[in-house]
């Protein structure tokens, strides 16, 4: 990675961003804009259109018209595939520009962002482009004089609401399968990190995606997000974000056309370390990276460390040592391991969790404070809290910041009980050399993804989805396509 190129891109002025509706850049209907605050230094980076309900309604109408006239859904699979492949190529060709733009917007360290954002997005778009002409219908086993056929058809208009932590990666998880199957999409990026995703949408047009097939509207969730959720013309909502917003989207669906709603929500993922782990030093390094990369702003972050009591003190010390070796700093420096917190609001919330943990008897053994305040940016020291009880706030509530809650356990049964003691079920891990125990943990821990002797890194070939209040439906893999198709039965008398 070339630091000089990164510094050159950092110095470039970022133009104001407008909506993308029907293939055109459009300002907000009332002319209002929103400042984009960079978490790197607290400066105003640029502006985006402050979308109105009328703006979102126009974007939805454009998507509906595009779907109904078949300009995309009616194209042969090979034609859709060619466009998506060109889009992936453009994302890859502009990867560094996109990554730097995204880092200036949301604070993820560039060493992670380049691979996780444009790199992952291009890979995801290609995956679904390659898959789309291999999705077949079915013929049912019926009587000799009946032909029973099961067709897979696009659902229509998809509303995709994307979070701020990995906008391109998570955006591609939804855009890839939805567009591959012939749907039209209305994209609503997060207020605090929309720039790279908006630029990625522009590249889709450059690749030949017909106008209106992908529309993107920036603005506040309570305005444009609500309009999207309540629309009678949206057939599916796909959302990644908070549980509170997920609940509102389900309410909007019930109040409107009962559209399908797929949710990937929060997590309080347990990282369980047994004394017989094959490599405790490796486990400690991975545990630190699993919570502190991207300043803990990862939905599957291993935010609860459950450690067998016999190794608790030594292992916590090893995690602390690994954490102290990670450099917090300017996210556009290639040697930075932990970047900025996304916003001042998020930083204050994180520090509030530290205060609560301390008041509930937790011991802050590392970090706990804001750092680098002189830069004007939003940075927090990676924080380790021990003595976190089963029912403590830090064990039950998603922080979405660089705070690790540590809890000891005595037995395998207690570890499982602790792991399953929250309302969430997104990810988890167990470290053990016992093959039988490994399989028991995969089965016993209620979660959508369970790692064994590793944490993170599951690629696009496998699904990501949660159980409990971590959501429903899956992103990634061929299973994600199921969210964006309708099954239609043809019952034909021969």
Residues annotated as catalytic (active site), given as ranges:
264
Q: How far, in Å, CA of 398 to CA of 404, rounded?
A: 11
Count Cβ neighbours within 10 Å for each residue of 93-114 and write b for 16 or more, e otherwise.
Answer: ebbbebbbbbbbbbbbbbbbbb
Instruction: Using alpha carbons, select from 459, 433, 350 the residue that is nearest to residue 399.
Output: 350
Q: Residue 184 in contact with residue 63, Cβ under 8 Å?
A: yes
Q: How far, in Å, CA of 43 to CA of 87, rounded?
A: 32
Question: Side-chain half-sphere of 145: how many Cα atoms within 13 Å?
Answer: 1
Q: How far, in Å, CA of 321 to CA of 274, rounded?
A: 19
Q: Residue 159 in contact with residue 229, Cβ under 8 Å?
A: yes
Cβ contacts of 275 within 8 Å, gap of 6 or more: 308, 310, 311
List of E strands, 176-325: 184-188, 214-216, 236-240, 260-264, 270-273, 304-308
Q: Residue 203 in contact with residue 175, Cβ under 8 Å?
A: no
DSSP string, 79-120: HHHHHHHHHHHHHHHTHHHHHHHHHHHH---HHHHHIIIIIH
The tokens describing 277, both together, are 């782990």
Sign of the torsion formed by the C-alpha atoms of 110, 116, 118 and 123 = positive
Q: Which residues pair with 216 in a beta bridge?
A: 20, 187
In angstroms, the Cα distances linking 338 to 10, 296, 316, 326, 359 are 18, 9, 19, 7, 27
In angstroms, the Cα distances linking 287 to 51, 196, 307 are 40, 29, 11
Q: Residue 240 in contact with residue 170, Cβ under 8 Å?
A: yes
Q: Residue 226 in contact with residue 146, Cβ under 8 Å?
A: no
Q: How far, in Å, CA of 56 to CA of 227, rounded?
A: 7
């Amino acid at each position: 990675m070339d630091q000089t190129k990164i510094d050159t891109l950092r110095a470039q002025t970022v133009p104001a961003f407008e909506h993308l509706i029907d293939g055109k850049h459009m300002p907000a209907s009332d002319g209002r804009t929103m400042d984009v605050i960079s978490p790197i230094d607290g400066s105003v980076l640029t502006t985006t259109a402050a979308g109105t309900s009328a703006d979102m309604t126009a974007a939805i109408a454009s998507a509906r018209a595009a779907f109904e006239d078949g300009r995309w859904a009616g194209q042969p699979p090979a034609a859709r595939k060619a466009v998506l492949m060109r889009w992936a190529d453009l994302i890859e060709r502009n990867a560094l520009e996109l990554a730097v733009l995204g880092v200036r917007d949301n604070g993820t360290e560039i060493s992670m962002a380049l691979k996780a954002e444009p790199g992952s997005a291009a890979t995801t778009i290609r995956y679904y482009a390659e898959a789309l002409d291999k999705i077949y219908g079915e013929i049912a086993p019926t009587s000799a004089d009946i032909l029973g056929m099961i067709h897979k058809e696009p659902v229509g208009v998809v509303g995709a609401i994307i979070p701020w932590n990995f906008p391109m990666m998570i955006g591609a998880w939804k855009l890839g399968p939805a567009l591959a199957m012939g749907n039209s999409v209305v994209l609503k990026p997060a207020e605090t990190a929309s720039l790279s995703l908006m630029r990625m949408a522009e590249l889709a047009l450059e690749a030949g995606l017909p106008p209106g097939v992908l529309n993107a509207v920036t603005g506040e969730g309570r305005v444009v997000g609500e309009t999207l959720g309540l629309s009678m013309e949206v057939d599916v909502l796909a959302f990644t974000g908070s549980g509170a917003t997920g609940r509102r989207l389900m309410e909007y669906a019930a109040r409107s056309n009962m559209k399908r709603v797929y949710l990937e929500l929060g997590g309080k993922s347990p990282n369980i370390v047994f004394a017989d782990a094959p490599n405790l030093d490796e486990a400690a390094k991975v545990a630190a990276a699993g919570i502190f990369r991207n300043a803990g702003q990862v939905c599957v972050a291993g935010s609860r460390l459950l450690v067998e009591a016999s190794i608790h003190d030594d292992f916590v010390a090893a995690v602390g040592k690994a954490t102290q070796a990670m450099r917090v700093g300017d996210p556009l420096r290639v040697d930075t391991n932990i970047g900025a917190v996304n916003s001042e609001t998020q930083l204050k919330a994180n520090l509030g969790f530290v205060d609560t943990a301390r008041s509930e008897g937790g011991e802050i053994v590392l970090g706990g404070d804001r750092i680098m305040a002189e830069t004007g940016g939003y940075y927090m020291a990676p924080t380790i809290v021990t003595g976190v009880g089963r029912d403590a706030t830090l064990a039950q509530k998603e922080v979405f910041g660089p705070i690790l809650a540590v809890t000891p356990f005595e037995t395998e049964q207690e570890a499982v009980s602790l792991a399953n003691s929250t309302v969430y079920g997104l990810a988890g891990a167990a470290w053990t050399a016992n093959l039988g125990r490994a399989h028991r943990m995969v089965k016993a821990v209620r979660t959508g993804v369970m790692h064994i002797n590793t944490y993170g890194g599951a690629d696009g070939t496998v699904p990501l989805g949660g159980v409990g209040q971590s959501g429903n439906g899956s992103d990634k893999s061929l299973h994600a396509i199921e969210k964006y198709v309708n099954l239609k039965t043809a019952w034909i008398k021969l």
